[in-house]
Amino acid sequence: MKIKSSLTIFLVAAMVAAVFLTGCATQQKSTETVFTQEGLMGTNAVLDTSFKTTEEYQNFIRDHTSDSYGGYYSGAMRGGVMMKGVAFDAAAPMASASGVNSAETATAVSGDSGAQGAVTDFSGTNNQVAGVDEADMLKTDGEYIYTLTDQTLYIVKAHPGNESKVVSAITFKDYPVGLFVQNDKLVVFGRVTDSDFLKNAGFANAQSFTFLTVYNITDRTKPTVEKEYKFEGDYNDARLANGKMYLISTFYPTYRTDYPTPIMFEGTVRSAMPVDRIYYFNIPYSQPYLVTINSIDMTTADAIDSAAITVEGSPNVYMSQDNLYLTYTEYINEWELEQQVTVDIVVPKLSIEDQNFIDKVKAADPDLLSKYEKQTKIYQVVERYASSLDQDQMDTLQKEIDSAMKEKLSQYKYREYTIINKLSVSNGKISVDANGRVPGHILNQFSLDEYNGNLRIATTLNPVYSRFTDVATTADVTTSDASAGSDSGAASASAKIAVMPIRPQTDSTTNNMYVLDSNMDIVGTLEDLGKGEQIYSVRFMDDRAYLVTFRQTDPFFVIDLKKPSSPKLLGNLTLPGFSRYLHPYDKNLIIGIGRDATATGRQEGLKISLFDVSDVANPKEIANYTSDEKYASSTAEWEHKAFLFSKDKNLLVIPFYSYDYNNGAENMNGAMVFNITKKGINLRGLIDHGTDNNYAPMVERSLFIENDLYTKSPRLLRVNALDDLSSVANVTLKAPASGKITKY
């Protein structure tokens, strides 16, 4: 008999999906059993603890990974202690634990020995938080410029500008992505791509590692290696505060008996992270993801501390002076919830024999059956039962499943959450303090800001699409008296603010602002901003926030955060186009860079705006610059480190790129230099970096030292006078021959 019920179709699809997941666990994350009212990470999740024993950690990983995924470490198991590891086995020698050999340091004919410290007027990286340096591909100390192109680090004697030249270069076997400079220490880090390292280290399958090398640059012409590290995981981000560097890497953990916890190398010495430094939450994980944080002392080059958090997604990073926040988005998948509901309803209806079989499947050793293989076998039994029903029985079962789904969905206030993990970072020591969640997803790191002990966060909540359109909502839950109306937003442990009320399903995007206290409990809420639009940029400034949303026009919102428990909208301005990045000019003026647009929302050329927010109820655009070039763009729209601004110098510099397929004479590739004041934005000129063969933006970064402006593209560092933009010098960044060093 041919059964046409949607249940049969659903069960067959579920079984196919389970089979697919079995072979593709590394590429797709299942959320089954993760999203329950009690188990979702955040408000109801508690930082359970760190793992107590290696066996406990191994069992956790084994229960949550597929046989088709992972690397294997071939060395003998030893009890490694972080930073005090065990030397390599003689059977697996390692010639060099770094991607850089000492022979790969090039020395120029220059006799300069180091920064003189006389220059005080120079720009640094455009960091989000004062005092917290962000990793970048270009840095300066006022005398020298340090920059990366492909697999080469160049050290350039940059001041005075007319004498600029490369004094040394270092080539890497691996791929560097960022650096820090502090006094006479240079740190370079990136992705390990040296296959010989993985082979010699004993990995049968490819596994990701991040390298970090500390150089002594007392003599800039002859950098010397002080320490070489490699940390398991893909490089994610890095910060430097109070002389301590924090390197963040991520990876899917694998079950292995040798060095089961995250591995690090210091030189040729290997070690494993202590198991009690790996933290997890009381949630039913689907596909665990490890975020590791390692701290390095920039003065001594010593590794200080390390920790890892078991999460379910790759993080965004925001860091204040005292705390590191790691966030990611969890989505509630209705289809996967229906799988869970179907199994829960059908299994009690099965024969005793089938139920016993399912119990055996669940109890099977994970070495014999992975979680996904178990799911497949259970779905096979459920599908066989459903296929045995006649149409009336099938319809009855379908109604029971639909009713249970409506009940389950009514428990969910939202279908997407930003999960926030808060870590304390003090003098290099790392501790996991709290975790929380807010509805919606964030745009980028500028969506978060810590102020007076509270975390402010702006999110966009996507519309909900469901075949269960008549899901009922439960009654509102009121906040506790202990937290309501509190200026500080602090709630006692015994009287935390209650979860927010369930809202009906939405058919359009909304944008929201939340304030969380030090325990990551929500203490203030402002919702439903820019309905039908999404956040394009956010900037927090003391007790205010500025928010730009867009669909057809650009609503520029001014939000008052003076009272954490009561965020409120002060005013808004609607303009064509939008700003992708906001930057403070002063406390009453905001610079916005983004796109112009028509009244119907069609994006056009590059636009820079100056917003006056002195009258918070009536913000206004007092000046703007819009490019004539239809296809103009700037990487500063989405990469804040490419944005150079100095109020004292009335200076704004951004990369600029325009390519017109129909009119090559209009093509431009370089950096735009503006004079920006409270009265206007005026283009001073374009510093050209283009050639006839350039089909992509070339200028990556810019900076100034004293009265010279430096703009960097992959193979050229141009020096121009700040006063009239006349050419001062051109420094060619020559690509070294493969495996060799070019001397300058």
Written as one letter, the residue type at 304 is I
pLDDT digits (tens, 9 = 90+) for 48-101: 688 999 999 998 888 776 543 444 443 333 333 333 333 323 223 333 333 333
In this predicted structure, which of 205-219, 428-442, 483-497, 676-690 has the lowest mean pLDDT?
483-497
Side-by-side strand order, sheet with 269-272: 86-87, 269-272, 263-266, 224-232, 209-216, 185-191, 175-182
pLDDT digits (tens, 9 = 90+) for 683-710: 999 999 976 555 667 899 999 999 999 9
pTM for this prediction: 0.84
What count of residues does the chain have?
744
Distances (CA, A) of 742 to 177, 193, 715, 735: 21, 22, 14, 8
Read off the pLDDT of each residue in 115-131 and give the average, rounded to a whole number: 84
Read off the pLDDT of each residue in 235-252 and give the average, rounded to a whole number: 96
CB 146 within 8 A of CB 140: yes
Euclidean distance between CA atoms 29 and 32, whole angstroms: 9
**Six token digits for residue 31:** 């959320």
Read off the pLDDT of each residue in 549-577 and give the average, rounded to a whole number: 87
Percent of the chain's residues with pLDDT above 90: 58
Which has the higher per-residue pLDDT, 474 or 454?
A: 454
Residue with tokens 């030090």: 518
Euclidean distance between CA atoms 180 and 468, whole angstroms: 52
pLDDT at 541 over 50: yes
CB 62 within 8 A of CB 243: no
pLDDT of 354 = 94
pLDDT digits (tens, 9 = 90+) for 196-210: 877 777 765 557 899
Highest mean pLDDT (candidates 386-395, 463-472, 514-523): 514-523
Domain borders along the chain are 31-103+130-332+412-437
What's the CA dihedral at 514, 517, 522, 525 to 10 degrees?
-30
In this predicted structure, which of 374-378, 397-401, 462-466 has the lowest mean pLDDT?
462-466
Read off the pLDDT of each residue in 578-584 and give the average, rounded to a whole number: 93
Which has the higher per-residue pLDDT, 31 or 420?
A: 420
Percent of the chain's residues with pLDDT above 70: 76
String of DSSP letters for 48-110: EEE--SHHHHHHHHHHTS-TTS---B-SPP---BTTB-EEPPTTS--S-SSS--GGGEEE-S-
pLDDT digits (tens, 9 = 90+) for 343-372: 999 999 999 999 999 999 999 887 788 777
DSSP run (H or E) holding 22: helix 6-23
Which has the higher per-residue pLDDT, 548 or 554?
A: 548
Angle between helix axes 6-23 and 334-346 (nearest 10 degrees) is 110
Spell out a b/e string for 517-542, using b for 16 or more CB atoms within 10 Å of the CB, else e: bbbbbbbbbbbebbeebbbbbbbbbe
Which has the higher per-residue pLDDT, 708 or 576?
A: 708
Which has the higher per-residue pLDDT, 173 or 207?
A: 173
Q: Look at the alpha carbons of 116, 120, 125, 129 in this order and tell me if their dihedral is positive or negative.
A: positive
Euclidean distance between CA atoms 219 and 222, whole angstroms: 5
Spell out a b/e string for 2-13, using b for 16 or more CB atoms within 10 Å of the CB, else e: ebebebbebbee
Confidence grade of residue 554 (pLDDT, cut at 50, 70, 90): low
**Six token digits for residue 73:** 């470490």
pLDDT of 100 = 34
CB 453 within 8 A of CB 517: yes
pLDDT of 109 = 30
pLDDT of 690 = 79
Spell out a b/e string for 43-76, using b for 16 or more CB atoms within 10 Å of the CB, else e: bebebeebbeebeebbebbbebbbbebbbebebe
pLDDT at 624 over 70: yes
Which has the higher per-residue pLDDT, 496 or 170?
A: 170
Q: Kindly report whether the peptide bond that precedes residue 463 is cis, defined as omega within 30 degrees of 0.
A: no
pLDDT of 721 = 98
CB 460 within 8 A of CB 447: no
Euclidean distance between CA atoms 105 and 37, whole angstroms: 57
Q: Long-range contacts: 518-521, Cβ < 8 Å, 24+?
A: 518/433, 518/434, 518/453, 518/454, 518/490, 519/434, 519/436, 519/491, 519/493, 520/420, 520/422, 520/434, 520/435, 520/436, 520/455, 521/43, 521/436, 521/483, 521/491, 521/496, 521/497
Highest mean pLDDT (candidates 276-290, 490-504, 630-644, 661-675): 630-644
pLDDT at 133 over 80: yes
Read off the pLDDT of each residue in 296-322 and give the average, rounded to a whole number: 94
Read off the pLDDT of each residue in 426-447 and give the average, rounded to a whole number: 94
pLDDT at 279 over 50: yes
With a CB cutoff of 8 Å and minimum separation 6, the contacts of 370 are: 22, 25, 65, 66, 67, 68
Mean pLDDT over the full length of the chain? 81
Side-by-side strand order, sheet with 668-677: 644-646, 651-658, 668-677, 680-688
pLDDT of 365 = 83
pLDDT of 313 = 85
Confidence grade of residue 375 (pLDDT, cut at 50, 70, 90): confident
Q: Long-range contacts: 557-563, Cβ < 8 Å, 24+?
A: 557/529, 557/530, 558/613, 558/616, 558/619, 559/513, 559/526, 560/616, 561/451, 561/456, 561/513, 561/515, 561/524, 563/487, 563/524
CB 112 within 8 A of CB 101: no
Highest mean pLDDT (candidates 432-446, 473-487, 545-559, 621-635): 432-446
Euclidean distance between CA atoms 86 and 74, whole angstroms: 14
Read off the pLDDT of each residue in 129-153 and give the average, rounded to a whole number: 97
Read off the pLDDT of each residue in 590-618 and give the average, rounded to a whole number: 85
Strands 263-266 and 278-281: unpaired
Confidence grade of residue 155 (pLDDT, cut at 50, 70, 90): very high
pLDDT at 154 over 70: yes
Confidence grade of residue 469 (pLDDT, cut at 50, 70, 90): low
pLDDT of 467 = 79
